[in-house]
Structure 1
Amino acid sequence: MALTFPDRSTALRALTGRTAVMLAALVLPLAAGHAQTSPIAITVDASANRHPISPLIYGLNFGTADALRDLRAPINRSGGNSASTYNWRLNARNAGKDWYFESLPCDPQSINDQFGSSFITLTRAAGATPMITLSMLGWQARLGPDHGRLASFAITKYGPQQDNDASGFYDAGNGIAANGTPITGNDPHDAQTPASLTDEQARLRDLVRQFGAGGLPYIILDNEPSMWQVIHRDVRPTGAHADEIAKKIIAYSRAVKAIAPTTKVVAPEEWGWLGYHYSGFDQQYGNTNGLDHTPDRTGITQGMDYVPWLLTQWKAAGHPVDVFSLHFYPQDGVYSDSDTREVELARNRSTRDLWDPSYTDPSWIKSVVALIPLMRKWVNQYYYPGTPIAITEYNWGGEKLMNGATAQADVLGIFGREGLDIATRWATPDATTPVYKAMKLYRNYDGKGSAFGNTSIGAAVPDPDTVSAFAALRDTDGAATVMVINKQLEASAAVTITLAHLPDHGAVETWQLADNALTRLPDTHYANGALGATLPRQSVTLFILHNAGHG
């Protein structure tokens, strides 16, 4: 049976009433109508599951200088679909399917249009590490006279289409004919020009000339190559075979190392569940014929999943990839602005996709994902054990919602607890949003650089879909930090936090994000190895236990 794939928007990836911390195990009554028989028991154990938290998990995509500084973001990625078509000589890109397959000059005033040296300069000036993407697509944007836009599917050439750029470039169609069929046989030279490894080598040399051989700490090799036939079908209408991507990454990595030997190569940047298991060619084949007998899987990879097979090929070639990277976006409408109860509950649950081997994703995936353990298993089994793993694009939606903020806080806690090495959120949220403030709660909650701890310790909860918790030790001042996330849509949460292998009493500083306000609550103390609180619905609360020591 033929399989219809979801489109990218579906298959991928948009003080009042608060209660202060109570002494010891004292808990205030809950609001009427939300009765709770007993407090939710959270156990923090400073001797359990101790390991460093990589600071690089708090990264951004296209972070502005202000955002990088305010969030103390340590790493900043320039990537995405347009990075595949970036022409560094013209400072131009082709937007592909995202925007009418237009080639256009990059806007120097837009952070989202920074793919070159200006991005590196901005990022370094803000104290962060840049990640730049090289193109392997084989095509790059070209421009018309006076750096004018060009259209890959011009209506004047290919006829009426179902949609066009009505915002100012009316001739740019969406590549879908009026009868609903995709336009094929177009001339790829209409808006793009062939590019090669030699072109990207010249780009690298130019960057090294500007920033030095050590000025390019990370180079990403393209973006979601198994989606080229969808996003960039104007120039790559046929999906890439598995062996093409394996060979290209080996060749491009060698080119990078020849010019900048200390640069870490990041790949393969695949887009999601199907992209982990099937090549672009097989995904395209499966869209019409189903996935039972896909050509690459039955032939090239000999039954192996696509990404693990890539790892075997890279290992056989030496060590071309230094950081193993994937993208992930939750499904079933979670990656959206939706605030329906159904979606918000799904958003609460779906963070399990990052870690839980007992959670079956209920969307079209219909499988256990447990992404971080899966990535670690793949590099340990098929590549080099201990290879850093990165999720360089992720987004849990609900950017303007407290539900999105609780999800974002949960995700960052999971990254630290599960030992992820690098993460960069797609993209940087607006500073007025709850999601931005959730990120700030981890990195700069007081505006003075204070942050969640840097050594993860055990934090156990009975049901992470309703209330989750993460704990850490902070080397700078010896504090223990506990992040508690009440995901419940309507109910406040009475919690009791029991502390093990930590002093049984001490001072508590509390910061809380609720109703899109990040505030400091009155300082208190805890005693008898426990503290209690009633937390507002859809809130994130950070407890800083001062002078708690390291147990």
Structure 2
Amino acid sequence: MRRKLLALSLVFNVLLLASVGLLEHRVLMHDARVFWHDLMGTSGTPSVVVPMATGEILIVVDPSADVHDISPYIYGVAKRDPGAVAGLDATINRWGGNPSSRYNWVIGHAWNAASDWEFRNLNYSDQGGSESDRFVSGDRSGGMASIITIPATGWVARSDKNSDQSLNVPGDGGPAISSDGAVAGYDPAANRQRTSVPSLPRKNAPFVLNPDSGSAAVYQDEWVNHLRTLFGSAGAGGVGFYAIDNEPMLWSQTHRDVHPARVGYDELARTYLQYAAAVKSVDPTAQLLGPESCCWTDYWDSELDRGTDNFATQPDRNAHGGMPLIPWFLDAARQHDAATGTRSLDVLTVHFYPEARGVATDTSNPDIDALRMRATRALWDPTYVDESWIKQPVNLIPRLKSWVAAEYPGTRVGITEYNMGGGDSPSAGLAEAEALGIFGREGVYIATYWTAPKPGSPAWFAFRMYRNADGKQGTFGSQSVRATSSASDTVSVFASKGSGYVDLILINKDLQAAHNLTVGLGKVSAVGPVQRFQYSDANSSAIVRLADTSASASLTLEVPRASITLLRVPVAH
């Protein structure tokens, strides 16, 4: 009987971990998104179809114009097992997502999955020891920088026991009615005791490198000290980046068992600044990321603004001078830092998913695929009216940069969670290639895909076209330069220079037809033949090295349907 029970227990744990593994991939692409879609009434399948261009398309490159550095950190992922992205040549890996808010670093392998898995504690890794130590070590072995998410809800898992579960959790949070975070009809005290231990920004006592796993409280500055001791300071090659928690405006949804109180402007700033200061006090060389905002609504309003009228009256915003949330947050950080003399916010970070229904999923059909590729324009194009409930230009990267310029100059901009959807369809690869090109051209500092492209998928090869198309570690250049297309909705172009090449990425977003191009290289001083690499649905399992072609002032070529083509033009150093 004992053997049967052990066998059944093993089967249960395997099924649980398999389910949680799937959750890791779907949590933030699905659950939080569905909440906002249902709340705001996201549009259905689009009826607008933008026609593809006909005739020859003109591409022009000028390596001396619009020159700026491309951050190496835009080629990022968020994969708990760094070994799972071997061969992708990603540059940075994020320890993040919903469970990171409840990770107990002292135990090292204990999380609470919150609303993603019945508010249960669990061990995602199915191993003992410290999963976060293994994460950072794996990143270092794989040549990736690390982003560590610092829990800031105030509570982390007390164990890795799946039987430790919050009970009688309400379906929603609400405004706090007491200083301990209770809301009308629900006091989280009992569930905090069942599942969690307090998590505090500072210990205010001597650090212990490896505290007892049964500690009654967990201190986040002590975690930073642990990581710094093991791996060195950020400035010496240790953990370079710390994000202060994850999507705080959804705490009263995702983590409502222990944090049912809706987060407002003041709590957001107060919590961020407390934890940011704690991190910097231990490692002043680390870069701090925040506020890790979830969605379009969170860029503008706090969760307290939701009220009972779905943001119609915005009481919290009005109580803070009518400023949208992110500009107000930037200003609060600037004022704090001016008073303390220490920068608490290095990178303004948000999350981005296309809001039109079906796009940020694995769904693939002609309408959704076309919309998926148009939706990349929300990242940069002030003329693109979002084809969702938003119904206005998102203009994300320029908007964030304008807020930074107005409220806290010198702060960089990052998108620490994004996914254009599409699953294994060609549109997924095309949209990912477009996004990576946009991040480089528009000057994003950090971008991390959620979670990581599946090996051998179109999005995986899109990454590879920028990171190692030739199989010899030949990467897209380190400086962005001007490149234009006469029909960018059909064939877009991104260009760079560095390491003896001018590189052009050509993305044919037409899923039905090939297109003829004339590539103007008159301003490129070529010193040899043009190398060509291509990924297309004609051979979706490999990047193909095409025959070199002679460089000329006007190069003509055809790009097949649904394809990504890299031209490498050798130039004098």
By the TM > 0.5 criterion, same fold? yes
1:103-182 mapped onto 2 (5 Å cutoff) = 103-108=121-126, 116-143=132-159, 147-153=161-167, 158=168
Shift of 1:485: 0.4
**Structure 1: runs of 5+ lacking an equivalent:** 1-5, 14-33, 159-172, 177-181
For 1:43-442, list aligned pairs within 5 A: 43-62=60-79, 64-66=81-83, 68-90=85-107, 91-108=109-126, 116-143=132-159, 147-153=161-167, 158=168, 184=186, 187-189=190-192, 190-198=194-202, 199-214=219-234, 215-283=238-306, 285=307, 288-299=308-319, 301-318=320-337, 319-332=343-356, 333-383=358-408, 385-442=409-466
What is the Cα deviation at residue 378 of structure 1?
Answer: 1.1
- Distance of 2:332 and 2:424 partners within structure 1: 43
Deviates more, 1:35-44 or 1:442-451: 35-44
Return the alpha-carbon distance in structure 1 between the equivalents of residues 152 and 564 of structure 2.
41
Cα distance in structure 2, aligned partners of 1:109 and 1:513: 38
CA contact (8 A) 2:120 2:164 kept: yes
Please give the TM-score of this superposition, normalised by the length of structure 1. 0.84
SS in 2 for 1:500: coil
Cα distance, 1:350–1:95 mapped onto 2, change above 3 Å: same
What are the Cα deviations for residues 52-100 of structure 1, in whole angstroms up to 9, with x where unaligned? Answer: 1111111111164445552222211101111111111222111112222
| Contact persistence 2:530–2:549 (CA under 8 A) | yes
- Superposed CA deviations along residues 227-256 of structure 1, whole A, max 9, x for unmatched, are 111111111222111111101111112111
Q: For residue 529 of structure 2, give the secondary structure of its aligned residue in structure 1.
A: strand
- Please give the alpha-carbon distance, in whole angstroms, between the structure 1 residues aligned to 2:391 and 2:305: 19
Q: CA separation in 2, counterparts of 1:334 and 1:262? A: 39
- Corresponding letter in the other structure for 1:93: W
Q: CA deviation at 1:120?
A: 0.8
Tell me whether 349-358 or 496-505 shows the greater mean CA deviation: 496-505
The reply to whether residue 460 of structure 1 matches residue 484 of structure 2 is: yes
- In the alignment, the residues of structure 1 paired with residue 459 and residue 330 of structure 2 have an alpha-carbon distance, to the nearest angstrom, of 34
Please list every run of 5 or more consecutive structure 2 residues that lacks an aligned counterpart in the other structure.
1-29, 38-50, 173-183, 203-218, 338-342
Q: Which moved more, 1:62-71 or 1:411-420?
A: 62-71
Q: Distance in 1 between matches of 2:486 and 2:379?
A: 18
Give the conservation status (yes or no) of the 8 Å contact 1:511–1:518.
no
Structure 2 residue 552 is the aligned partner of structure 1 residue 536: no
* Matched-pair identity in %: 37
Mapped to 1, the partners of 2:241 and 2:546 lie a distance apart of 43
8 Å CA contact retained: 1:83, 1:115: no
Contact 1:225 1:240 in 2 (8 A): yes
CA distance in 2, matches of 1:12, 1:122: 35
Counterparts of 2:147 and 2:566, CA distance in 1: 30
Is the alpha carbon distance of 1:519 and 1:62 closer, same or farther for their aligned partners in structure 2, counting shifts above 3 Å? Answer: closer
* Alpha-carbon spacing, 1:544–1:528, altered in 2? closer, same or farther (3 Å): closer
Give the superposed CA RMSD: 2.6
In 2, Cα distance between the equivalents of 1:196 and 1:447? Answer: 46
| 1:497 aligned to which of 493, 497, 519 | 519
| Offset, 1:465 | 2.4
Contact kept, 8 Å, 2:533 with 2:546, in 1: the verdict is: no
Confirm or deny: 8 A CA contact 1:356 1:370 kept in the other structure: yes
Give the Cα–Cα distance (whole angstroms) in 1 for the partners of residues 438 and 415 of structure 2. Answer: 12
Q: Distance in 2 between matches of 1:324 and 1:37?
A: 41
Corresponding pairs, count: 490
CA distance in 1, matches of 2:250, 2:474: 40
